[in-house]
Chains A and B, each alone.
Chain A
Amino acid sequence: MYVAVKGGERAIDNAHAWLAEERRGDVTVAELTVPQIREQLALAVNRVMTEGSLYDPDLAALAIKQSRGDLIEAIFLIRAYRTTLPRIGHSHPVETDKMACDRRVSATFKDVPGGQVLGPTFDYTHRLLDFKLMAEGEVPEAAVADPRLEPTPHVTSFLNKEGLIQSEAAGDEIPPDLTREPLELPANRALRLQALTRGDEGFILSMAYSTQRGYGNSHAFVGELRIGKVAVEMDIPELGFAIEIGEVELTECETVNKFAGSKVEPPQFTRGYGLTFGQTERKAISMALVDRSLRSKELGVEVSNSPAHDEEFVLYHCDNIQATGFLEHIKLPHYVDFQSEMELVRKMRVEIASASAKEAAE
């Protein structure tokens, strides 16, 4: 039972004023600007956009500044802001095969049209702290080569030609929207993908890792990972046709898993899919593994009682804003709740004490 209490206004105001001062830190150190965060902490910005479910780098950077770098708090701010926006409409599905790729790698095929393009990656770095970054200095210019301006085809389209990979059912049905309807189970794949895209990177990563270690075993290969910009088109009712309303950076991951076949399907490869805002490849790969794991039932493969095979477990626990809201509420005043619990414990102790006294007397 919840009982309202009053008081604490002055303490709360003063706590928030102190928070503002602590956020600023030592005033002899230059203050961070939002553009600095947007440009120089871009991967944090990308995570906040993906899990905040709103593509707006400036707002995500502002949220990171306001939250003092607490990314879940920043995601919370973006989710709250998002709910205040009128919904103008929805886009046509983005055409990721037309992506202007900054990065595009395949772990399954060495020689793919368009090639293996590493992009600005941490891969193959030695993970040694670079003390040069503590000093101000010019950055050497990145090398250039003949630009590829034509679209880069999806790697899985080559497997498809041989019929070796399960093909995706095309369609244009209106997908369910978590921001409009509460999550209900069983969820279809469209709803699961939306939930996974918004889901906590750490949680999705751990779920994906658990499938690799044998909990709901499935051995995935990264068929393709690509990062780059795609155009976003939307129908404009007053025009009667679609126009490009913007451009978003996306990370897309397609995984392929060996599949021994079922009563209705020949042996082939099955697919997992990850799509996230910005350069967020750990999240996109994890998402693809978890997507594939949650498809087990519909693909007719063995469903274990491992967490990553359990749609309810994954979907009801992957949202870090729901999770943190419920978790952190227990630190807020529960005085009355706790008093009733104390009464109960005292009563139990009295009962036990009197019972043992009676026993000793007999």
Chain B
Amino acid sequence: MGKPEAVLSPAQEARKAWMGLLATSDAVHLAERIGALDLPEFDWLRRPEVGGVMVRGRMGGTGAPFNLGEMTVTRCSLRLATGEVGHGYVQGRDKRQAEQAALVDALMQGPRADELRDAVLAPLEAAQVVSRTARAAKAAATKVDFFTMVRGED
């Protein structure tokens, strides 16, 4: 089922994780976090563009793929003066969020990685965990506890 995933290096795994976090982050929260930092100049490799990604599902949940419908995604690429290239992919149509995601991606590859992890990524991740856990806790409260009534015996 599915083609085997390429094995990623630890650096690639780490980048995959932060890019995924940035893609689904809350734009306002990201802007607040990154706004407090001193940001470098950069050159655009690709200015932010809004596009559609066709989301696929699997027939019966496990079978062959089919096209479910599209979602909006904004992407961009930039290069810092120090040479690091950052890519931003975010869900939705927020070009500023894509720019900030690309900046974080670029900075995470340089000497400021620890600073960015503490100031931006860790708080974003914590916020996501809080919100997911809160939702799961509400779902758990609606779980049915069955009890069987005693059947009448003749």
Contact = CB atoms under 8 A, between A and B. Distances in A.
B2 interface: yes
Interface string B29-50: 0000000000000000000011
Given A90-B54, A275-B57, A103 B139 contact: yes
Q: By CB atoms of chain A within 10 A, which of B3, B8, B72 has the most?
A: B72
Q: Which 8 A-B pairs have the closest CB atoms?
A: A168-B63, A246-B91, A244-B20, A147-B136, A168-B60, A171-B64, A190-B66, A144-B137
B55 A232 contact: yes
Q: By CB atoms of chain A within 10 A, which of B6, B23, B75 has the most?
A: B23
A206 B133 CA distance: 38
B142 to A, nearest CB: 4
A111 to B, nearest CB: 7
Interface stretch (A9-17, A25-33, A79-87, A318-326): A79-87
Interface in B46-98: 49-73, 75, 77, 87, 89-93
B15 interface: yes
Given A82-B52, A90-B56, A116-B143, 13 more contacts: A86-B52, A93-B56, A96-B61, A117-B139, A168-B58, A172-B3, A172-B65, A190-B66, A241-B16, A243-B16, A246-B73, A271-B60, A275-B68
Given A93-B65, A198-B69, A189 B140 contact: no
B67 A142 contact: no
A89 B54 contact: yes
Interface string A141-152: 011111111000
B56 A92 contact: yes
A149 B142 CA distance: 15
A175 B16 contact: no
Interface residues of B, number: 60
A260 B60 CA distance: 20
Given A56-B93, A87-B54, A244-B24, A238 B69 contact: no
B138 interface: yes
A273 B61 contact: yes
Contacts of A154: 61-62
B52 A85 contact: yes
Contacts of A250: 57
B19 A244 contact: yes
A174 B127 CA distance: 37
B150 interface: no
Interface in A140-169: 142-149, 154, 156, 167-169
A311 B87 CA distance: 44
29 contacts: A53-B69, A54-B69, A55-B72, A56-B71, A85-B70, A87-B70, A90-B67, A96-B57, A102-B139, A118-B144, A142-B141, A145-B143, A147-B140, A149-B132, A168-B58, A170-B2, A173-B64, A175-B56, A177-B54, A178-B67, A179-B67, A179-B70, A190-B64, A190-B65, A197-B69, A232-B53, A239-B19, A271-B60, A273-B60
A68 B136 CA distance: 35
A290 to B, nearest CB: 14
A263 B123 CA distance: 60
A320 B82 CA distance: 53
Contacts of A232: 53, 55, 71, 91
B28 interface: no
Contacts of A179: 54, 67, 70
Nearest to A295: B59
Contacts of A167: 62
